[in-house]
Amino acid sequence: MLAPVLQLLGVVSQAAVLHAAWIQITGIAIAALGIFATVYAQLDMGDSWRIAVDPSETTTLVRTGVFGWVRNPIFTAMITFGFGIALVTPNLVAIAGFVLLVATIELQVRVVEEPYLLTVHGDAYRDYLATVGRFVPGLGLDRSPR
């Protein structure tokens, strides 16, 4: 949220190469798609949806719907939203914010979510890792020996 405010105040300026109305309009459409996809993925997760990892709670491993395409569709949608916002106000702060968003999501998934799900769901999650991409279908598969 800081990027557009700083741009409006004239503290930072748009990246010249990305200064075109069609880019900002595309950014709005991508951000809106990201919001819609986030809500859709949360609903598709059903009763297993939660805000954070709670070691005392065991939820069902969801492998259907959008979770059959990618393992982390909510995070994919959040990245999509962040990319759209970076296009709406393409300045150094927005681009740095987008990079930071992607990095923190990667850390959350690799350091917190995946180890937790491996502990809770074992071989079922290992199979899921080997067959469904992390954020994009087919990418980020883990086919290491069991």
Residue 105 lies in a domain: yes
Give the model's pLDDT for residue 90: 86
Cα distances from 98 to residues 2, 20, 93, in angstroms, run 12, 19, 9
pTM value is 0.83
Residue 61 lies in a domain: yes
Helix (H, G, I), strand (E, B) or coil at 68: helix
Asked if the model's pLDDT at residue 53 lies above 90, the reply is no
Number of independent structural domains in the chain: 1
How many CB atoms are closer than 10 A to CB 109? 18
Mean pLDDT of 74-89: 93
Residue 119 lies in a domain: yes
Asked if the model's pLDDT at residue 30 lies above 60, the reply is yes
Q: What is d(CA 89, CA 36) in angstroms, rounded to the nearest whole number?
A: 20
Residue 108 lies in a domain: yes
Residue 136 lies in a domain: no
117 or 2: which leads in pLDDT = 117
* Domain extent at residue 38: 2-8+18-131
Residue 138 lies in a domain: no
Give the model's pLDDT for residue 9: 77
Asked if the model's pLDDT at residue 3 lies above 70, the reply is yes
Helix (H) or strand (E) holding 94: helix 92-107
DSSP β-bridge partners for residue 115 = none
Asked if the model's pLDDT at residue 52 lies above 70, the reply is no
